């Protein structure tokens, strides 16, 4: 359970780079009905699960856009693992996530009546990405309390930078992408691990590909855009 929770927090930070609103960023179109499917692979290239994202509601209040994204995760046999929604808001050039709603109901149920507190700093993606550019750090923290015992889990995304531009082909098409590098450090009790990561972002689409590595550089897992529908 600990490993799953840590990996989910890493995924949580990665999801943030997938989605934003047209009037806030040129990289991530968001209108009701837009749907994306991502296939997740293990280090050997075998399918582990498939995640589907769909924009189900978008509203505008003043200068802020609020949106709801529905997520469905299926295992490699097509069996549902969980369904959940999460909310985000977009103001100016920044996207703000409702971190608590990103945690799936199934995961929360496993913690029973524990008190859970979630906080974090948003991932920021500027409109004017350039190769060599450094980006602000981000993090998410989850504090769990039970019978006077506290357990903290955190993921810090640091050393973020735009490495290069390159073309990427997936089952959904061929895209020109910026490659963003980061180091994701997960902390849980006495465990402290670093997972370097690269995300391929395409203008008007969002995340096209992601790779997560062990500290020594070996591939640990990957994610690829396999379907995109406006």
- Write down the pLDDT at residue 21: 42
- β-bridge pairing 94-97 and 115-121: unpaired
- pLDDT above 80 (res 123): no
Q: Read off the CATH number of the domain in which 74 is found.
A: 2.40.360.20
Residue 50 and residue 73 in contact, taking contact as beta carbons nearer than 8 Å = yes
Which residue has better confidence, 96 or 74? 74
Residue 177, token pair as written in the block: 């992408």
* Residue 91 predicted with pLDDT over 90: no
Average pLDDT over residues 132-141: 86
Domain count, the chain: 1
Least confident of 30-34, 77-81, 121-125, 134-138: 121-125
For the four alpha carbons of 103, 105, 110 and 111, in that order, the dihedral sign comes to positive
pLDDT at 1: 47
Our measurement of the distance from residue 21's CA atom to the centroid of its chain's CA atoms, rounded to an integer in Å, reads 15
- Does pLDDT of 72 surpass 60? yes
Band (pLDDT 50/70/90 cuts) for residue 172 is very high
* Domain limits for position 72: 2-229
Euclidean distance between CA atoms 102 and 30, whole angstroms: 18
How far is the CA of 106 from the CAs of 56, 82, 83, 88, in angstroms?
A: 21, 7, 9, 21
Query: Is residue 101 scored above 90 in pLDDT?
Result: no
């Amino acid at each position: 359970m600990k490993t799953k929770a840590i990996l989910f927090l890493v995924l949580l930070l990665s999801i943030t780079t997938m989605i934003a609103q047209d009037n806030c960023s040129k990289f991530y179109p968001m209108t009701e009905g837009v749907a994306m499917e991502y296939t997740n692979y293990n280090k050997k290239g075998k399918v582990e699960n498939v995640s589907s994202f769909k924009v189900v509601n978008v509203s505008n209040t003043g200068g802020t856009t609020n949106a709801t994204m529905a997520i469905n995760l299926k295992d490699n046999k097509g069996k549902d693992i969980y369904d959940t929604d999460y909310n985000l808001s977009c103001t100016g050039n920044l996207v703000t996530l409702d971190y608590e709603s990103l945690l799936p109901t199934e995961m929360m149920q496993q913690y029973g009546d524990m008190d859970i507190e979630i906080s974090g700093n948003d991932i920021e993606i500027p409109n004017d990405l350039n190769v060599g550019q450094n980006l602000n750090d981000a993090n998410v923290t989850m504090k769990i309390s039970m019978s006077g015992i506290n357990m903290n889990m955190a993921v810090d995304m640091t050393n973020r930078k735009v490495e290069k531009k390159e073309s990427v082909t997936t089952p959904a098409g061929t895209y020109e992408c910026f490659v963003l590098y980061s180091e994701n450090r997960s902390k849980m009790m006495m465990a402290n691990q670093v997972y370097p990561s690269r995300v391929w972002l395409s203008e008007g689409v969002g995340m096209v590909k992601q790779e997560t590595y062990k500290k020594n550089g070996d591939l640990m897992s990957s994610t690829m855009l396999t379907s995109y529908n406006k």
